[in-house]
Amino acid sequence: MIRAARNGQTWCDPDSTGSRQRPHWPSVWPSIGLLLLALAEVFGCTQAPEASRPGDSTSPLSPRWIHRGDQCSPKEARAVELDQAETAGFSLPPGLPTAEAKGRTLAIGVGRFPTGGCSVALAEPPRRDGDGTLVVRVTATEPPADAATAQVLTYPCGVLDVRGAEEDPAATRVEYEDKVWRIGDEPGEGY
């Protein structure tokens, strides 16, 4: 059925001509979302259960991150006990546990990076040395090369709770790249 004509153009009423109408897109999005969730579930794109992730408190040598940020490390890579973090140059948020976690909560900074999207992470699960020292290896994760990131200086750091160990270690050794810090031999000492 012709509705109107103007300047030689004719408009038709799509309902009366029997032409197919396009689907109304806002009503299709929930269906597409459910389909994507179903595909992710089928093909295994889900997170591991809490008990099997690094940082799980049920495993004797699985520390957990209390805090991670991208603007809290000193300019150089560093690892210290949490109660010494402020004097070591860390800028951490208030309210992190210090007194009850003495010697078992570490502030770890990986230095300066020229872009956003960097963070500190465990390089491997913590382990014990032959002398009982708890060895924690960390790494700095960087965004993919093709990621769009801000060109800004960042100072990634994290606060790691190692109290999940079955017994207190004589010391904790934190390793990052070619740097090593030994924490807990003597109060305030690290190298």
Do 76 and 155 fall into the same domain?
yes
Sign of the four-CA dihedral 69, 72, 75, 81:
negative
Residue labelled with tokens 């269906």: 31
Range of the domain at 19: 2-42
Do 84 and 169 fall into the same domain?
yes
Mean pLDDT of 34-47: 58
Per-residue pLDDT tens over the stretch 97-140: 765 655 678 999 999 999 888 999 999 988 888 888 889 999 99
Residue 128, CA distances (Å) to 2, 16, 52, 166, 174 in order: 83, 78, 20, 11, 12
Mean pLDDT of 17-37: 62
What average pLDDT is seen over the chain? Answer: 74
Number of domains in the chain: 2
Do 70 and 33 fall into the same domain?
no
Do 10 and 98 fall into the same domain?
no
61 vs 65 pLDDT, higher one: 65
In a domain, 188, yes or no: no
In a domain, 152, yes or no: yes
Do 174 and 83 fall into the same domain?
yes
Do 106 and 152 fall into the same domain?
yes
Sign of the four-CA dihedral 114, 105, 186, 59:
negative
In a domain, 71, yes or no: yes
